[in-house]
Structure 1
Amino acid sequence: MEDYAKELEASFRSIKEGDIITGTVIAVNEEEAVLDLQYYAQGIIKAEDMSGDPGFNILEDVKVGDEIEATVVKTDDGEGNIKLSKKEAVQVLAWDILKGYMAENKNIQVKISEIVKAGAVAFVEGIRGFIPASQLSLTYVEDLEPWLGRELEVRVITVDEEKNKLVLSAKVIEKERAVEDINHKISMLVPGSILEGVVESLMPYGAFVSLPDGLSGLVHISQISQKRIKKPSEVLTVGDKVKVKVLNTNDNKISLSIKAVEENSEADEMEAHQAAEYSSKEEATTSLGDLFKNLKF
């Protein structure tokens, strides 16, 4: 009954040239793939009509059981089969998929298949994509050749179907991850902590200090010195090693103070001095007591 139902459905089905239909692969060889279309005729996709990717291999990339969307090229190839092209279907469907990838900020795994002037080439959904050298990594890439054949996680940053233009970037993903890593390190800082750093730049409003773990914080001009200054360069020079106190890490920005460290140091010195005085008085009192204790009246 099930077979009869399929035959009945197939008898009412109409397939015409230009249609995009789905079939299941039932056989594969070096020259072609054979598809079950749930129709009276089988579908045939020649190897050259499978993909525009130069790295595509029909025996490795197509398996029995795979479902494939393809465009009807001819309803009869001369041998009673329906001639199909996955490559043509990809051209129609892929651009919408790629637009979706860009809208979702979807990360895609690709393999670099070619090195060209100023960048590299990788295929996504059968479409040739360009990765500019400046978008391969966070760091500057001078020699592109070692990148050939490398697998890379990228994101679609430009889709233009009319100009057949697809641009990819690995840099945007790396940049996001670097920011996440920095923000995590910042979140681990405890306000009130004393750190050592190096003055990396001076601005009219304060000084930026390089900290351990690749972090950087700002010492506002009001937090540089206990005395009033008009500009940071009056007391600081780029390259100076300084001790700073973490004031806060609001909005993933590190606010620092040199003045607070100096105030702490002065307070500590005062406490130490008072403790020393108290200790000396206690010893003197104890000694005088001991002296009177031995006297008899």
Structure 2
Amino acid sequence: MVFTEQKNFKKNKANDEIRVGMVVEGPILEKTSRYVLIDLSPFGVGMVRGFYLKEAKTILKDLKEGDKVVGRVIDVDNEEGYIELSLQGQNFDESWEKISQLKEENKAFPILILEANAGGLIAKLENITGFLPVSQLATEHYPQVEGGSKEKILEKLKNFVGQNLTVKILDFDPQVSKLIFSEKLVEKDKISEAINQFKVGDLVKVKITKIVDYGAFCRIQDVPQLVDGLIHVTEIPLESPIDKSQSGKMAAEIKTVLTEGDVKEAKVVSVDNGRICLSLKNISPSNTPSKINS
């Protein structure tokens, strides 16, 4: 690494004034494929590297040594003794202000996926690089990979590069240039909206997805969103009366009348806080409103 003598600037008392999140400006001292050094006198020398160098590719493309750049301090003293920087153009405050407004208004918006790694997807918003973690992908986009192979997960995630996904802002922090997107928040809103269209007494077609001791989980059919519900054990017509002493063994009893994959007609018995509960008992199609194929 060159400019070793420049690092001594960091020992200057003026360096006490520099802080994480501070916007700084200076000329480029050295530009390589692995890092860029920037003169931040009297504070010291700034360094752009790794992820931050990658995100600044467009900004740095036509710049040369001596050209001035604006950056935000990520670390005042990295392991090599430099001031770690993120370069995101001239309009830091304006960009983060717009991001803050989107978060405050809880708005959904499209992002273009630029890259993928095993942890998720990378996109830009207002020229700020953000991250969409795998855990925040919508159900339909979540990479279902047997054994959790990182290589196979990455292979599936790469299919999203070049696509637009609708997301909301999960979290952000201008001080450390953190911007996290969530597709799951958008999905949650859509599911809540779909659930709220149902009323107690509606008939629906459901597919049994999982059987547990306290009932059966199901997915409502013939609706545009993936809406899951619960059929409590007391709402399942069992062959024998419920024996509370058999706690922990009810799943086996339920499986005598239901099988995962079964498609049944069910009645909505409650809709509360984004959850829908159903019953397989006392269904009278002639007297009950139906949402099936509506």
Shorter-chain TM-score tier: 0.3 to 0.5
Larger proportion of helix: 1
Normalised by the length of structure 1, the TM-score is 0.47
Higher relative CO (Cα under 8 Å, sequence separation at least 6) belongs to: 2
Looking at CA atoms only, which structure, 1 or 2, has the larger radius of gyration? Answer: 1
